[in-house]
């Protein structure tokens, strides 16, 4: 059976919207979008590899260098040996501590795609542009200035995917961030998103 690794952040992990800093809760496995994605792809083994706070290529000076996606990706590739990788990152790069423009965030995703291709040529790669964020609630200051940048991210990710020879999927039309914290997703939207992403994946990479 072929395998696909979902390489993402807290929204792949299944983190629930938070009302106060320091809160941390994970939605039930059955509610996560990765579970719905897997249910729609019975011919694939789905490996959900989501870490809260994960960035594309940045060491986080506050939350830890281990949140750097570029650093951990080679080890995960060697561990899981996926035939395909779906990358859904970029939201955490919107934090002002990284001072990353939309082009730079997309370039980070492109770098990850190229690492995968260099590891094993022919590996299928899909870049998912995350939905725009909203600066609201307890995470508003942490993501200050990120909302405007997030509106321009999908176009940059599409361009980056083209340069890297990857497939692109825009999550924006299929997801709305929670009004509680403006970053995470509510469980109610997970079935539709998981199915939409699985349909796009199947279209490009087969059953």
Instruction: Convert the pLDDT of each residue in 101-143 to its tens digit.
Output: 999 999 999 999 999 999 999 999 999 999 999 999 999 999 9
Predicted confidence at residue 207, as pLDDT, reads: 81
Predicted confidence at residue 104, as pLDDT, reads: 98
Q: Residue range 45-66: average pLDDT?
A: 98
Predicted confidence at residue 206, as pLDDT, reads: 84
% of the chain exceeding 90 in pLDDT: 98
Question: Is the Cβ–Cβ distance between 74 and 115 less than 8 Å?
Answer: yes
Q: Residue range 32-58: average pLDDT?
A: 98
Residue 132 DSSP label: P
Per the DSSP assignment, residues forming a β-bridge with 7 are: 49, 87
**Residue 126: CB atoms within 10 Å:** 22
SS3 26: strand
Per the DSSP assignment, residues forming a β-bridge with 169 are: 128
Predicted confidence at residue 47, as pLDDT, reads: 98
Instruction: List the domains of the chain with CATH numbers.
Output: 2-17+24-205 (3.40.50.1110)
Predicted confidence at residue 33, as pLDDT, reads: 98
Q: Residue range 176-193: average pLDDT?
A: 97
């Amino acid at each position: 059976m072929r395998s696909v690794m979902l390489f993402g952040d807290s929204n792949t992990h299944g983190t629930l919207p938070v009302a106060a800093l320091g809160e941390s809760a994970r939605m039930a496995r059955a509610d996560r979008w990765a579970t719905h994605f897997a249910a729609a792809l019975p011919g694939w083994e789905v490996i959900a590899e989501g870490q809260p706070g994960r960035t594309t290529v940045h060491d986080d000076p506050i939350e830890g260098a281990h949140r750097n996606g570029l650093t951990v990706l080679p080890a995960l590739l060697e561990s899981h040996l996926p035939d395909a990788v779906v990358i859904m990152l970029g939201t955490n790069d919107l934090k002002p501590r990284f001072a990353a423009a939309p082009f730079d965030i997309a370039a980070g995703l492109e770098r990850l795609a190229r690492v995968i291709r260099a590891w094993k040529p022919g590996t299928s790669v899909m870049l998912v542009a995350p939905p725009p964020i909203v600066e609201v609630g307890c995470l508003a200051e942490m993501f200050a200035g990120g909302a405007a940048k997030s509106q321009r991210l999908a176009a940059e990710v599409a361009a980056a995917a083209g340069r890297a020879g990857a497939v692109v999927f825009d999550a924006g039309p299929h997801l709305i961030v929670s009004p509680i914290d403006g970053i995470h997703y509510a469980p109610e939207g997970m079935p539709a998103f998981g199915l939409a992403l699985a349909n796009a994946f199947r279209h490009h990479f087969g059953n």
